[in-house]
Structure formats: C-alpha cells, structure tokens
Amino acid sequence: MTVRMPQPATRGYFAIGAERISKSLNLGNMMRSAHGFGASFTFTVGATYRAAEASADTSKGQLHLPHYNWAGIDEMALPHGCKLVGIELVDEAIDLPSFRHPLRAAYVLGPERGVLSEALLARCDYVVKIPTSFCINVAMAGAIVMYDRVRTLGRFAPRPISEGGPTEAMEPHTYGEPVSSGSGKG
C-alpha cells in the first residue's frame, strides 16, 4: 500500500535551477526533489534539459512542474517580486542556517565543476552558502536548500529542548512563528 504524503504547507512559492549544469542525472535528481518539496517551477541557464535523459527524475517532475531553459542570463524572466538567491561557496555569502528565505524566491546553483558566473552572481539579490568544508553534489545542495526553506517557512511544531519529537500539538496559525498549544512551559 502506498501512503500519500501531504505536500509541505508553506506560503509563497519557490523555484530552483542551475546555471550551466552538464549532467542530466543531476538535473533529473534536482527536479525530482523540487517536485517533492513543492517547487512551483524549475529552470536552467545556459544548459539544455532532455527529459529522456533525466532518469533520476522518477516522479516525472517535468509533467507536473513548468521547466524553463534559458540560454543566458539576459533571457531569465522571473515573476515580479521573485528574489534570485544564488547558492555558492564564496566568503561573502550568508550561511544557510542564518538566512531568512524570501516569500517568493528562485534558487540557482552553479555547475558541477565550476561556480556561478560573475554576471549571475551580480544579478542575485542574495548569495547563500551551505556550511560544508568543500563543494557537494549540485542536486544534493539543491535538496538541502529546499529542505531548509520548507523547515523554516513550513508549519511544524517547534523542536523540543530534549531529543525526540514534539510533545504538543500545533494550533492553527498564520504565517510567521509557530504557535504551540499548552502552557508554553518546557
């Protein structure tokens, strides 16, 4: 029996893509994760996407999410108000655990054997880095960023002080900080 998991409940929207990605398996894996985490669309800049080669996308994300192939940065057409967030290991980048995700965001990662171009970095509203000691796989980096977004903007019970899961149920609330039921004593 297959259990259908509810889609992450967050407000706003996000997209994820990569510049000059060269391995279709990495793109397929990122598209599968994007579909699972509730992305609104995926994209590439300076790369091509061939659905037949993306065998890692077993969820068939291309059938459920729009995918945009932009030949260059000048062709990128993000929705009004959408912030472009570069994911790159550069000194001036914001550490992901300290970053507040925009309500409307498009995350862009660099190629497998390179970095985001200077032109794309200049176009980014924010540049964020995953605190690792060296570069990790582009699809894995994308999944970490999407998880962090869902975790921080989602509606989850607060983490307990000690190990294990939450002991209090969540009350319905609006966007912002989680509100738990009970006395508030921990």
Domain definitions of the chain by residue range: 13-153
**pLDDT reported for residue 26:** 84
The encoded tokens of residue 80 equal 């009004």
Check if the beta carbon of residue 105 is closer than 8 Å to that of residue 15.
Answer: yes
Q: How many Å apart are CA 103 and CA 92, to the nearest integer?
A: 22
Q: How many Å apart are CA 87 and CA 89, to the nearest integer?
A: 7
Write the CB contacts of 179 (distance below 8 Å, at least 6 apart in sequence): 170, 171, 173
Flag whether pLDDT at 7 surpasses 60: no
Q: How far is CA 59 from CA 6, 31, 100, 101, 125, in A?
A: 15, 9, 29, 26, 31
Q: Can you give the C-alpha Rg of the chain in angstroms?
A: 18
Q: What kind and span of H or E run contains 123?
A: helix 118-123
* Higher local confidence (pLDDT), 65 or 115: 115
Closest CA to 107 of 148, 66, 58, 151: 148
Q: What is the pTM of this model?
A: 0.80
Q: Work out the burial of residue 145: count CB atoms within 10 Å of its CB; fewer than 13 is exposed, 13-18 middle, 19 or more buried.
A: buried
> Using one digit for the tens of pLDDT, what is the confidence trace for 132-181?
988 899 999 999 999 999 999 887 888 888 888 777 655 554 444 444 44
Closest CA to 45 of 129, 114, 108: 108
* Higher local confidence (pLDDT), 34 or 5: 34
**pLDDT reported for residue 60:** 61
**pLDDT reported for residue 185:** 40
**pLDDT reported for residue 59:** 61
Question: Phi and psi of 118, rounded to 5°?
Answer: -60, -40
Query: What would the mean pLDDT of 1-29 be, rounded to a whole number?
Result: 76
**CATH architecture of the domain with residue range 13-153:** 3-Layer(aba) Sandwich (3.40)
Res. 126 pLDDT band, cuts 50 70 90 = very high
> Using one digit for the tens of pLDDT, what is the confidence trace for 33-86?
999 999 999 999 988 655 435 555 556 666 678 889 899 999 999 999 999 999
**pLDDT reported for residue 100:** 96
For tokens 């054997």, the residue is: 113
Flag whether pLDDT at 5 surpasses 90: no
**pLDDT reported for residue 43:** 92
Contacts 24+ apart (CB under 8 A), 151-155: 152/100, 152/101, 153/10, 153/11, 153/12, 153/101, 153/103, 154/8, 154/9, 154/10, 155/9, 155/10
**pLDDT reported for residue 183:** 40
